[in-house]
Chain A
Amino acid sequence: MLNTAPLYVGADVGASRTKVAILDASKTLVGYAVLKSGTDFTATARQCLMQSLQMAGALESAVANAVSTGYGRHNVDFARDSRTEIGCHGGGCYHYFPVAISIIDIGGQDNKVIKLDEAGRRISFKMNRKCAAGTGAFLEEMSARLDIPLEGMNDLAAQSTDMVKLGSFCTVFSATEVLENIRHGKKIEDIVKGVFFSVIRRVLEMDSLSQNVVMTGGVVAHNPHLVQMMEELIGRPIRVPEKPQLTGAIGAALYAMNAADERD
C-alpha cells in the first residue's frame, strides 16, 4: 500500500556522498538513501530520492516539501529551499538529543564542530580550515598508501596494541610518515590506529567541547572505533545517532517540515 501521508525530504549533497532522508508527519524516518555524489549532483540527488521513496513506499506526489543542504545544495532540482549543512546537522542532532550539545561531524572533505544550547539554538560553529587533514579524504589517502580497503580500517584499528603516533598536520607529510613506519616494520593495525588518532587530534584542535558530545558523519558511521578512541581521549561517553551519516539530511527534512508548517 502506498504511503500517501505528507512527506518531508532532506537532501544532503556532500563532496563525497549524497544522502536523502524522508520523514513522515510524525518525524519518523521512513526512507533514505546514500550514494556517491559523483560529478552530476542533480542526477545523484534524484536517484537518492527515488530509492528513498521506494523504501518509504511512496510516490513523489506525497512529498509536501524538500530542502537541500551540503556543497551541492544548489544542484537539487526537487528542493524548494536550501540551508547550510551547519544548520541542518545542528537540527538533525538536536532532534535525537534535545539537550545542550557539541556536535562533531566528520565528513568527506570537511569537519564541523557545532555548539547548541539547551533550546537547540546555535551558539557557535567551526569548520576545518582549507586543509583535508582530519577529514574522510585523509582516511581515503591513507588507505590508498597502506593498500588496504577503506572499509577495513575500523577493524584493523581495533586490533592495535601499540599505536603509532603521526606528527604531521599535512596529509602528504603524514603519508610519508606512514611509509617510514612501514619501512621500520611497524604493524599495519598500529599505523591505522595512529591515522585515526590524527583525525581525532585535528578535530579537537578546532574548538573546545561542552559536556554532551554527539558525533556524526560518514567517517563516524563507518568507523565506530574512532568514536571509542574519542571517548577515551575526552573521558566521557559520546552519543551517536542511529544513522550518523544522515543527520544533515534529516535536519534538512525537519527544516522542510517547519517551512511547510509556517506556510500552512
Chain B
Amino acid sequence: MPEEKKVVRKKIAAAADLNNFMRDYYLELDAAAQKGAPKIAWCTSVGPAEILRAFGFQVYFPETHSAMLGATRMATEFIPEANAIGYSPDICSYLTADIGAFLKGVTPLEKAFNIKSVPKPDVLVFNTNQCRDVQDWFNWYGEKFDAPVLGVHTYRGVSEVTEKHIYSIAKQLEALVPPLEKITGRKFKLDDLKRAVALSRECSELWKKILDTASAKPAPLTFFDGTTLMGPAVVGRGTQKAVDVYKILLAELEDRIKKGEGAIENEKFRIYWDGMPVWGRLSTHSQLFAALNANVLASTYCNSWIFSALDPQDPFNSMARAYTELFIVRADEAKETYIKNMLAFFKVDGIIYHDAKTCPNNSNCRYGMPQRLEKQTGIPSLTINGDLNDLRMISDEQTKTNVEAFIEQLQERRHA
C-alpha cells in the first residue's frame, strides 16, 4: 500500500526564546490591564505602533490574537457568533472570529498564559492600509469599551509612492498626537518617537535578514516557521526586547546555513507563498510540503513586516512612507515587480497563491496576476482555495491533491 509519508522536522531552538518573548509580552499587557497602568492602546498590525510606544502605551494587536484563534482552531466555532449580529461570513474572518470569541467570553490567551480576557483599551488606533475591515473591527470594540477610536485612512492601489501620499499620511499621523496627549495626560516628546522608530527599524532589518536566510540552498527556515517567528516583528517593533530576541534567531539561522542544514530534508523544490497562511493548517501544510521535498521558503505575508523606509531622523514622514510602501497598499504593477524580485532572490521553482475567501486584499490571484507573472517569468503557479481563519472554507483533500499534482508538475518539468 502506498504510504503517506510522515515527516519529522528539526526544530528551531530559538523558537523557545520567541515563545518566551510572546508570553512576557502578553503577561505585561495583562498586568497593565489589571493595574490600569501603563495605559493600553490597541493597534492594527501595520498601524502606527511607534507613536503609541513614544507615549508609553502597552500596545495590543487584535490581529495577532485572532491569528491565535485560527492557529488553535478555535476561530471557526466563534465566527457564527459575529455573523449572527450582522457581520457577514464573507468579511474578514479575523474580525468575525475575534468579535465572536469576545461575545462568548473566550480567548486562547487563557490556555496559553492563563490570561482571562483581552486587555481593555484606553484607545484604539487603526490604519486602513490593510483593509477597511480593521476600522469596523476597532469601531465595534471602541463602542463596547467606550474607548476613543483614532485612525489613519490610507491610499489604495498606489503605483508609485509620491510626496503627495507621504504628506497626507504624515499629516494624519501627526494629527494623532493631540488626542493621544489628552488620553495619556502626557506631552508628546519627539525624541521618544525617534527612539521608537530607531528600534522599529532595527527590528525590521533583523527580520529582513532572518527571512533572507531562506535564499540559501537549502533554506534554513520555512514560511510556516516564519508565520510564528514573526510575532516580535508585529507586536514588539519599537522595543529593545524584539531586537534582542531576533539577534538570537538570526545567529541560529546563519549557523544552519554554514552547516548546510535545511529546514526540510532533501530540499528539491523551492516554493513562494502569496497570501495569508491558513492558520488552522500550519502544521498540516508544513508536513504536506516537506513530505514532497518542497520547501515553501518565502512569502509576501511574512515580508510585509519589513519597514526599510523608517528613519528616526524624520519619524513622521518616514513612517508615512514605510506604511504606504507596503505590498498590500500597492497597485498590481508594483506588486508584480515585487514578486518577480522575490522569485529571483529566493531562486523559486513555483508559486502558491492562497485565495482566502474572506481576505480579498491579501488574495492576489483574482485579477489575472498568476497568469501575467507566469507569462513573464515562466515560473508555474497553483491557486489553492481556503481561508485564514474560517476552516469551513477549506477542503483538505482538494488542497492535498492540488499540491501533490503541482509538485509532480514541477518534477516533470525538471526532467523534461
Contact = CB atoms under 8 A, between A and B. Distances in A.
B280 to A, nearest CB: 15
Interface string A80-122: 1111111100000000000000000000001000000001011
Given A77-B1, A119-B416, 12 more contacts: A42-B1, A76-B1, A79-B1, A80-B2, A81-B2, A84-B408, A86-B409, A110-B398, A124-B409, A127-B401, A130-B394, A130-B398
A216 interface: no
A166 B331 CA distance: 37
A127 B1 contact: no
B4 interface: yes
Interface residues of B, number: 20
A169 interface: no
B405 A84 contact: yes
B38 interface: no
Most chain A CB inside 10 Å of its own CB: which residue of B385, B395, B405: B405
Interface of B: 1-4, 380, 385, 393-395, 397-398, 401-402, 404-405, 408-409, 412-413, 416
A121 B413 contact: yes
A91 B113 CA distance: 53
A80 B2 CA distance: 6
Interface stretch (A66-74, A177-185, A192-200, A219-227): A66-74
A236 B101 CA distance: 55
A73 B4 CA distance: 10
Nearest to A81: B2
B2 A127 contact: no
A73 B405 contact: no
A196 to B, nearest CB: 24
A236 to B, nearest CB: 23
Contact of B405 (A75, A76, A125): A125
A71 B405 contact: no
A74 B393 CA distance: 24
A127 B3 CA distance: 24
A263 interface: no
A86 B1 contact: no
Most chain B CB inside 10 Å of its own CB: which residue of A68, A71, A124: A124
A178 to B, nearest CB: 25
A71 B408 contact: no
Tell me if B's interface is mostly helix, strand, loop or mixed. Answer: helix
B408 A85 contact: no
B4 A130 contact: no
A88 B285 CA distance: 23
A122 B412 contact: yes
Contacts of A75: 1
Contact of A82 (B2, B395, B402, B409): B2
Contact of A86 (B2, B393, B401, B413): B401
Contacts of B412: 87, 121-122
Given A74-B4, A127-B401, A122 B385 contact: no
State the 5 A-B residue pairs at the shortest beta-carbon distance, nearest first. A86-B405, A82-B2, A84-B405, A130-B395, A84-B404
B1 A74 contact: yes
B101 to A, nearest CB: 25
B366 to A, nearest CB: 12
A75 B397 CA distance: 14
Given A87-B408, A121-B416, A122-B412, A73 B398 contact: no
Contacts of A73: 2
13 contacts: A71-B397, A74-B3, A76-B1, A79-B1, A82-B2, A83-B408, A85-B401, A87-B405, A121-B412, A125-B409, A129-B385, A129-B398, A130-B385
B398 A86 contact: no
B406 to A, nearest CB: 8
A76 B3 CA distance: 10
A79 B2 CA distance: 6
Contacts of A119: 416
A233 to B, nearest CB: 23
Nearest to A126: B383
A84 B409 CA distance: 10
A127 B395 CA distance: 12
A138 to B, nearest CB: 16
Contact of B380 (A77, A83, A124): A124
A199 to B, nearest CB: 18
Most chain B CB inside 10 Å of its own CB: which residue of A71, A82, A83, A127: A127
A129 B395 CA distance: 9
Contacts of A124: 380, 409
